[in-house]
Amino acid sequence: MKIALGSDHRGFHHKALLIESLHGRGIETLDQGCPSVDSADYPDPAFAVGELVASGAVDAGVLICGSGIGVSIAANKVKGVRASLCFTPDQARTTRQHNDSNVLCLSGDAIEPEQALVLLDAWLASEFEGGRHGRRVDKIAAYENEHQKAE
């Protein structure tokens, strides 16, 4: 498995902990910024991670900014990305099971770094259930295909 991760300055410490944990499990990561706690714009890593996920270059993405909202909004502008902001393990599980989420978004301010690990584990341990949920995700993809301009 290969996971792209990105953050702004307010998510930097969470991202570093997640990368360390994933490496310890033998999971390959691609760090898409930011490189420090110096101020950084959240759309940059969100677009970079989103593009890697959408292209299939990685299996999944994780994004962290102060609230988690900014990276979620930005990543969801990338066609094919289903970025989900989660605060509980149940949300992390069900967004994979029901929404086929391919990018996990987290808040660097509202959760502790250790809780970010719990959420990541719940998200990674879950799989898309398909069925009626597949029909719904297909509707989202059809709308994207019909309404978003080709690059």
User: Rounded CA gap, 106 and 108, in Å?
Assistant: 6
Catalytic (active site) residue 34: no
**Residues listed for the chain:** 151
| Annotated catalytic residue, options 9, 14, 98, 105 | 98
Catalytic (active site) residue 98: yes
Show the DSSP H helices in 2-106 as ranges: 12-24, 43-55, 69-75, 89-99
Selection from 47, 50, 48, 38 nearest residue 11 by Cα: 38
Selection from 107, 103, 125 nearest residue 116 by Cα: 107
Show the DSSP H helices in the chain as ranges: 12-24, 43-55, 69-75, 89-99, 113-124, 132-147
User: Rounded CA gap, 111 and 46, in Å?
Assistant: 19
| Annotated catalytic residue, options 9, 14, 34, 65 | 65
Catalytic residues: 65, 98
